[in-house]
Amino acid sequence: MKLSLRRKIAIDLGTTSVLVYTRGKGVILKEPSVVAYDRFTDKIVAVGLEAKEMIGRTPGNIAAIRPMKDGVIVDYNSTEKMLKHFLRKSVGKSLIKPDVIICVPSEATQVQKRAVMQAASKAGSNNIHLIEEPLAAGIGSGIQVSDPGGSMVVDVGGGTTDIAVISMGGIVVSASIKSAGDACDQAIIDFVRKTHNVIIGDRTAEEIKITLGSTLNQDRSSFRAKGRNLFNGLPTQVELGPRDVEFAMSRPIESIVETVHKVLSNTPPELASDLYERGIILTGGGALISGLAEKIQDRIGIKVHVDENPLTSVVRGAGKALNWINKLNSIEDNQFDLTRKEIARKEKLRRR
């Protein structure tokens, strides 16, 4: 057996955060996907958590931005530098470039996929492979993707919600929408502005969502949000409760529920019957939103299971797919699906 010194890592390149997984160590890095750079010199000032602390607090020459939006690259140069920073932080300085597998939205275009691969290549990767986020989430949640039966995964991330029906190692029916974590944050900002005439920032909206709208904080009854009064421009604060947050997020949540119903209505009858028996897997940070699983279940009449660790299910699934990298050659994107299905078939035969 040929021994390779080349590291193999999985990357969940998300809109709000980047997670890195290595074989043997698991998830070794989780940081916000934010880059701060100097407008005058075009040099990177900070990346990740340090850069996130600068959002809304920087002088005119420093810009703190998110290079990813809706799960795809919007600022190529910043994404490249961000990936380079995280790769170096994960692997260290090494002359041997790592092989990587990166998660992308299920409905990302070939141009968007190619941009991710080019950014990863310039950041210092060797062989680069892509895997759809819902497929990776399914693997990370324990679904046997090579099974001929149908399984549905709803991955509610920061920029997008990916919904897919998986069977025989591939995606049969899928949909990707922009109603996700960021949309909920914006809905809270709009709600506070309309009802209290107060403008709050993105970080405050996210904190409100996590504090009052998450299953992790059921004991909190109120939150004091600090912002700027819309009329006199002075700093002020307003008190919000869980019902305020539930009402504020109702529109993006309804959009997610509606899309799940739409995907289910387009699912072949045989696979739909499997879903009725198996239920639906809910993953991603949005899976922690209070009442989301119940709303989906009430709408479609199928049991919804929330993954035990929904925040890392995508990158863990991609990490398990690292076992396939040795069997994959450098091939064109449109051949990747066929190769993956063949590998899944062989893996199933081997387990017998």
CATH of the domain at 165: 3.30.420.40
Q: What is the pLDDT of residue 168?
A: 84
| Token couple for 101 | 């597998």
For residue 270, being part of any structural domain is answered with yes
Q: What is the pLDDT of residue 221?
A: 81
Q: What is the pLDDT of residue 333?
A: 45
For residue 1, being part of any structural domain is answered with no
Claim to verify: residue 151 and residue 264 sit in the same structural domain: yes
Q: What is the pLDDT of residue 238?
A: 94
Q: Measured between alpha carbons, how far is 168 from 152 in angstroms, rounded to an integer?
A: 13
Claim to verify: residue 24 and residue 122 sit in the same structural domain: yes
Q: What is the pLDDT of residue 328?
A: 47
Claim to verify: residue 54 and residue 99 sit in the same structural domain: yes
Cβ 95 vs Cβ 120: under 8 Å: no
Q: Measured between alpha carbons, how far is 192 from 230 in angstroms, rounded to an integer?
A: 11
Q: What is the pLDDT of residue 61?
A: 84
Claim to verify: residue 75 and residue 107 sit in the same structural domain: yes
Claim to verify: residue 277 and residue 228 sit in the same structural domain: no
Claim to verify: residue 162 and residue 152 sit in the same structural domain: yes
For residue 2, being part of any structural domain is answered with no
Q: Where does a domain end: 248, 272, 291?
A: 248
Backbone angles phi, psi at 155, to 5 degrees: -105, 105
Domain of residue 35, residue span: 8-136+314-351
Claim to verify: residue 132 and residue 260 sit in the same structural domain: no
CA 174 and chain centroid, separation = 16
Domain total for the chain?
3
Q: Where does a domain end: 210, 227, 248?
A: 248
Q: Where does a domain end: 224, 248, 272?
A: 248
pTM of the full structure: 0.84
Given its phi and psi angles, is residue 210 left (phi above 0), alpha (psi -120 to 50 degrees) or beta?
A: alpha
- How would you list the strands of the sheet with 198-199, edge to edge? 198-199, 223-229, 235-240
For residue 118, being part of any structural domain is answered with yes
Q: What is the pLDDT of residue 188?
A: 96
Claim to verify: residue 236 and residue 272 sit in the same structural domain: no
Q: Which residues of the chain have pLDDT under 50?
A: 1-3, 328-336, 339, 343
Residue 226: CA count within 13 A, CB half-sphere = 1
For residue 94, being part of any structural domain is answered with yes
For residue 12, being part of any structural domain is answered with yes
What is the number of other CB atoms lying within 10 angstroms of the CB of residue 199? Answer: 15
Q: What is the pLDDT of residue 92?
A: 78
For residue 104, being part of any structural domain is answered with yes
Domain with 214 in it: what CATH number? 3.90.640.10
For residue 88, being part of any structural domain is answered with yes
Claim to verify: residue 150 and residue 298 sit in the same structural domain: yes
Claim to verify: residue 81 and residue 167 sit in the same structural domain: no
What DSSP state is assigned to residue 325?
G
Claim to verify: residue 125 and residue 243 sit in the same structural domain: no
Claim to verify: residue 131 and residue 195 sit in the same structural domain: no
What lies within 8 Å, CB to CB, of 38 at 6+ separation is 45, 61, 62
Q: Measured between alpha carbons, how far is 34 from 351 in angstroms, rounded to an integer?
A: 42
Backbone angles phi, psi at 105, to 5 degrees: -60, 150
What DSSP state is assigned to residue 185?
H
